[in-house]
Structure 1
Amino acid sequence: MAPLGLETPVHYVLIACALAGVYVVGKVFYNIFLHPLRSFPGPFLWKISPIFRHYRLAQGDLPIYMKELHAKYGPIVRISPYELAFSDPQAWKDIYGHRHNGEPEFPKYDGFYRAVDNIPRGIINHFREEHSLLRRQLSHGFSDRSMQLQEPIIGSYVDLLIRRLREQCADGSTPLNMREWLNWTTFDVIGDLGFGSAFGCLEKSDYHPWVRLVTNSLRQTAFMMALSDMKLKPVIRMILKLKKLAITDNQALVREKLRQRIESGVERPDFVEGLIKQKEKGNLDFMQVAANSNTLIIAGSETTATLLSGAVYLLTTNPDKLEKLTQEVRSAFKNDDEITLLSVGKLSYMLACLNESLRRYPPVPTGMPRQSPKGGANVLGKYIAEGTVMAVWQYAINHDANHWTDPYAFAPERFLGDPKYKNDKLDAMQPFSVGPRNCIGRNLAYAEMRLILARIIYNFDLKVADDSRNWINQPVYTLWDKPALNIYLKPVAR
């Protein structure tokens, strides 16, 4: 017989392995046969563990694959032991909409919105009452009056964009990477509106180091979200302690820029003026203002540039639509000075093109998850147990043949009452979400996108380069991982 000191550890290991095996088998049995979500259809392995869902996320095709799952299993799909995905217009209202008769709001899922939990909560992930206060404080920066005051700021960068594009494509023989030029424009605009100083991207024809940090931090955050969703937040904390990440560097730069903005003492019609005033009143501390400023930088730049890139690609690969839009823009204005944030509002086909671009290439193609409130709730007439994670996945619902005629066609006419698309469910597409937490910057985003696209089309003839004809087939890690978008621009002679 082996000495007790050598034998016992082996026994402990065997017992631990046996217990672990019993736990895993029991968990699998519970998730399949006893879990409150057991009656909802979905891939068998995905019901067992969230790791299979996150594998598709790591592959970069989860939102696209979600469309296939809905085609196979229907409007409600179980995509992890505790998560449901929805593809139905009514689900937007049931999950995200205003609640009535004292019904509790569906809270945001912290596993997604607060993967890194040492950062103060902001307008994106704050609790209901605090969110309402923050929204009121920020709303002045997105009002019609503020937009009028902001127009000279935004217009100056669009002017600079047009000048720089003319310098780069004098003879129209060399394609330009429009992904970069559009990114540079929106980051310069948001830098000025957010902190009173531009990134200088357009001036230097290059990315500011901060812009690179923002891009890298978005990718890292997607990884952190996956860990958080699998209940591995201790691993996130360990990573943040052991490794210097773009996430923390970006936060440090935001705080530095914010201090400069506050110390300048200048009142401007920008996004953070209201937050700074609340800080002065003692209603917010510096870190809360910084967290919200960081949100504004990302939400007001990356998503706008992404949508414009998608619109340029979809228009140049559909020359008949581009020609129709070109005629509308060039017949509406006599010169560049007439193209303003206000005047672009009369371009109906332009708006239809942007809406169709939002449908085909949503800047946030994933789901924005909520949780079923205490006591559970009904969604699409089905009872959903308390704590269930749920979302409408934008790419999937935007391409669902149950809601759209020819879902993969680029057809702005579907938003203009064309009889061919009379059965389309336009309310299935909600790129700015719905309800009390919908995007506060929706009106500004539309105006900015119309202004930039109108100025480009007024000044240049566009043609996609051969190496970018399949540009839209790209991976997505929460946000799209956009490759170069090479476009020939030929200046219009006037």
Structure 2
Amino acid sequence: MARFEIPFSWSRLRGNNHRSLLAIHKKYGDRVRVAPSIVSHTTGDIWKDAYGHVKGNAEFPKDTAFVPYNGVHGILTADRTDHRRFRHLFSHAFSQQGLLSQEARVQGHIDGFIEQMKTRAGKEPLNMVEWFNWLTFDIIADMSFGQSFECVEKMETHPWVVGILQGVKAAVWFTVLGRYGLLGFLFKILPQKLLDARRTNYEYVSAKLDTRIEHAGDIRGDLLDTVLQKPLDDPEKASLLPPEQRYLNEEELKSICGNFVLAGSETTATLLSGAIFLLLTHPRVHEKLVKELRETFPTSESITIAAANDKSPFLLQVLNECLRVYPPVPFIFPRSVPAGGATISGHFYPEGTQMATCAMAANFVESNFARPNEFLPERWLPKDQRPKEFQNDNANGSFQPFSTGPRNCIGRNLAYAEQRVTLAKFLWNFDLSIPKGVSGWEKWIQEMDVFILWEKNPLMVDVKVRKGI
């Protein structure tokens, strides 16, 4: 079937590509041709050879089939030159120092989430997918535009959030069919609500950004403070300048902010939802983590970004294992071999061959992890402390939840901080359990499809305020 690309493309459109790739790698090994010009890898060498960057070597470009609504690429899909420019402009905002300067803003949202949840706890099972989406969208909207969606406060999903998730599903079709030159045909067959979602998302970003630009001189402590201190480029004039002399134009900023809202919300909400599911289906781990958090932190307020990172080692191990078992981005994003060809994992590939890795395959093969189908946070202990059977786990660096190289996730510091503080405060404040009489609860991940991101079903959880606080 690797002689034809249609089966591979069809599995991506159906949402089961992650399952088929894992099955293929388990059968054929760590390097498999899954389509005429696409080779999937599960070894860590792929990150160094194709996603990393060696000075003087050409970059392996991303798949260019996807076209943003406004035709202008943001930080996720820009070419090498523009990506470097965008990354430089936002580097401070996403640095550890920049994050600490924004901690009060992030903590305010998390504390508001805890207090609002207390008003609903103990009454009926709560959909944690919904609640975590509310929180993370509120945080990234506030940090990107200086305005929250107020989802947590209103306990309702903002229409933009719905549009973003529909837009992601549309993006799968644009990415896959764009490879065949069928975008015109796509506009005829794709459900209108998915096409409308692309336009609506663009309009929401435009409106929010216009308001933020009106207050460009204000220091709000958000991600746009620095870039809005200078006037944005006129696109026509900027096009006459060498790329390295350009600043940022409004359409570029719209695409970048759209990237921030998507990547900075849905992925973190997914990881948090997955963490709750995995903890409740593994009582030993759940009890151990709750015990550590409640013995380490005297109050909920004492759980700061720094403290969550430094004082709760088992929390970090649990989150790493959650990222392995339930990676927030399980889709495959190929890179193309540049002119002249390249050697990957000791094998030479000609120009144009697409190299890829899928976390759901790499994270579940025994060549990378012992007992890969089991949820075992102990595998992430320091090497001199971990059990002998896990000594060779991730030995080749196959586990890269935020990618690696010059295009690794610019928001990884923010994501780690949100994940750690939110999960720590949530478990410190609440006792959780699986609702009685719910059938199929343990299959929540197993039955999920992937359209770039996980298409999550509700995750209903009994939430009760911890006694004695």
TM-score (norm 1): 0.86
Conserved 8 A contact 2:13-2:172: no
Matches of 2:358 and 2:334, distance apart in 1:
9
Structure 1 residue 464: Cα displacement? 2.3
Q: What is the aligned counterpart of 1:249 among 189, 200, 211?
A: 200
Is 1:479 matched up with 2:461?
A: no
Matches of 1:367 and 1:54, distance apart in 2:
11
Aligned to 2:161, the other structure's residue is in SS state: helix
Partner in structure 2 of residue 235 of structure 1: 185
Partner in structure 1 of residue 59 of structure 2: 105
Q: Which amino acid aligns with 1:200?
A: E
Matches of 1:212 and 1:475, distance apart in 2:
17
Return closer, same or farther for 1:248/1:138 CA change in 2, 3 Å cut-off.
Answer: same
Matches of 1:463 and 1:469, distance apart in 2:
13
Matches of 1:107 and 1:117, distance apart in 2:
21
Conserved 8 A contact 2:69-2:198: no
Match runs of 1:190-229 below 5 Å: 190-229=140-179
Partner in structure 2 of residue 69 of structure 1: 24
Matches of 2:86 and 2:141, distance apart in 1:
20
Is 1:53 matched up with 2:8?
A: yes
Partner in structure 1 of residue 243 of structure 2: none
Conserved 8 A contact 1:119-1:291: no
Q: Which amino acid aligns with 2:207?
A: E
Greater alpha carbon shift after TM alignment, 56-65 vs 372-381: 56-65
Structure 1 residue 173: Cα displacement? 5.6
Conserved 8 A contact 1:97-1:436: yes
Structure 1 residue 264: Cα displacement? 2.2
Matches of 1:333 and 1:215, distance apart in 2:
36
Q: Which amino acid aligns with 1:469?
A: E
Return closer, same or farther for 1:232/1:279 CA change in 2, 3 Å cut-off.
Answer: farther
Structure 1 residue 288: Cα displacement? 0.7
Structure 1 residue 236: Cα displacement? 4.4
Partner in structure 2 of residue 288 of structure 1: 252
Query: Once the two structures are superposed, what CA deviation does each residue of 1:8-65 show, in whole Å capped at 9, x if it has no partner?
Result: xxxxxxxxxxxxxxxxxxxxxxxxxxxxxxxxxxxxx2312x2211222233211111
Q: Which amino acid aligns with 1:120?
A: V
Conserved 8 A contact 1:83-1:388: yes
Structure 1 residue 234: Cα displacement? 3.4
Partner in structure 2 of residue 400 of structure 1: 365
**Structure with bigger RCO (C-alpha 8 Å, 6+ apart):** 2
Is 1:442 matched up with 2:412?
A: yes
Conserved 8 A contact 1:276-1:289: no
Matches of 1:260 and 1:481, distance apart in 2:
32
Aligned to 1:142, the other structure's residue is in SS state: coil
Matches of 1:117 and 1:155, distance apart in 2:
33
Query: Once the two structures are superposed, what CA deviation does each residue of 1:394-435 show, in whole Å capped at 9, x if it has no partner?
Result: 110010111111101001100002323112125211010111
Q: What residue ranges of structure 2 are gaps of 5+ in the alignment?
A: 235-246
Total equivalences in the alignment: 444
Aligned to 1:462, the other structure's residue is in SS state: strand
Partner in structure 2 of residue 261 of structure 1: 212
Conserved 8 A contact 1:275-1:289: no
Q: What percent of counterpart residues are identical?
A: 37
Matches of 1:179 and 1:275, distance apart in 2:
33
Q: What is the aligned counterpart of 1:133 among 85, 90, 100?
A: 85
Conserved 8 A contact 2:70-2:251: no
Partner in structure 1 of residue 443 of structure 2: 470
Query: Once the two structures are superposed, what CA deviation does each residue of 1:352-399 show, in whole Å capped at 9, x if it has no partner?
Result: 111000000001112221100011111111111101112111110010
Structure 1 residue 272: Cα displacement? 2.3
Q: Which amino acid aligns with 1:373?
A: P
Query: Once the two structures are superposed, what CA deviation does each residue of 1:259-298 show, in whole Å capped at 9, x if it has no partner?
Result: 0011123222212233333544662111111110100000
Partner in structure 2 of residue 5 of structure 1: none
Q: Which amino acid aligns with 2:175?
A: M
Q: Which amino acid aligns with 2:365?
A: D
Structure 1 outlier segments of 4+, above 4 Å? 236-240
Matches of 2:370 and 2:416, distance apart in 1:
25
Partner in structure 2 of residue 182 of structure 1: 132
Conserved 8 A contact 2:232-2:250: no
Q: Which amino acid aligns with 1:272?
A: L
Greater alpha carbon shift after TM alignment, 305-314 vs 337-346: 337-346
Conserved 8 A contact 1:399-1:407: yes
Greater alpha carbon shift after TM alignment, 53-62 vs 324-333: 53-62
Query: Once the two structures are superposed, what CA deviation does each residue of 1:111-160 show, in whole Å capped at 9, x if it has no partner?
Result: 2xx24474211111112122111101011111223212211111111111
Matches of 1:480 and 1:214, distance apart in 2:
13
Q: What is the aligned counterpart of 2:40 among 85, 100, 109?
A: 85
Q: What is the aligned counterpart of 1:412 among 366, 377, 382?
A: 377
Conserved 8 A contact 1:356-1:410: yes
Partner in structure 2 of residue 271 of structure 1: 223
TM-score (norm 2): 0.91
Partner in structure 2 of residue 162 of structure 1: 114
Larger Rg: 1
Q: Which amino acid aligns with 2:213?
A: I
Q: What is the aligned counterpart of 1:359 among 296, 299, 324?
A: 324
Conserved 8 A contact 2:69-2:199: no
Matches of 2:335 and 2:402, distance apart in 1:
15
Q: What residue ranges of structure 1 are gaps of 5+ in the alignment?
A: 1-44
Partner in structure 2 of residue 10 of structure 1: none
Partner in structure 1 of residue 349 of structure 2: 384
Partner in structure 1 of residue 238 of structure 2: none
Greater alpha carbon shift after TM alignment, 117-126 vs 365-374: 117-126
Matches of 1:110 and 1:350, distance apart in 2:
38
Matches of 2:356 and 2:227, distance apart in 1:
30
Which one has a larger percent helix, Structure 1 or Structure 2? 1
Conserved 8 A contact 1:115-1:233: no
Is 1:119 matched up with 2:88?
A: no
Match runs of 1:8-23 below 5 Å: none
Aligned to 1:314, the other structure's residue is in SS state: helix
Return closer, same or farther for 1:163/1:345 CA change in 2, 3 Å cut-off.
Answer: same
